[in-house]
Amino acid sequence: MVVPLGGDGFMLETIHRVLPLRLPVYGMNCGSVGFLMNTFNEDDLPERLTHAQEAVLYPLRMQATNDKGQEREALAFNEVSLLRQLRQTSKIRVTVDGRVRLPELMCDGIIISTPAGSTAYNLSAHGTIVPLSANLLPLTPISAFRPRRWRGALLPSTAQVLFQVLEADKRPTAAVADFTEVRDVITVQVREDRSISITVLFDPDRALSERIIAEQFTV
Pairing verdict, β 28-29 and 5-6: parallel
Which residues neighbour 155 within 8 Å (Cβ) at sequence distance 6 or greater?
Answer: 96, 112, 136, 137, 138, 139, 161
203 classed as catalytic: no
Q: Please choose, from the candidates 165, 167, 124, 162, the residue with its C-alpha nearest in 3D space to the C-alpha of residue 143.
A: 124
Alpha-helical segments (H) within 69-194: 121-124
In angstroms, rounded to a whole number, what is the distance separating the alpha carbons of residues 133 and 191? 17
Per the residue annotation, which of 8, 67, 184, 193 is the catalytic one? 8
CB 76 within 8 A of CB 177: yes
Residues labelled catalytic: 8
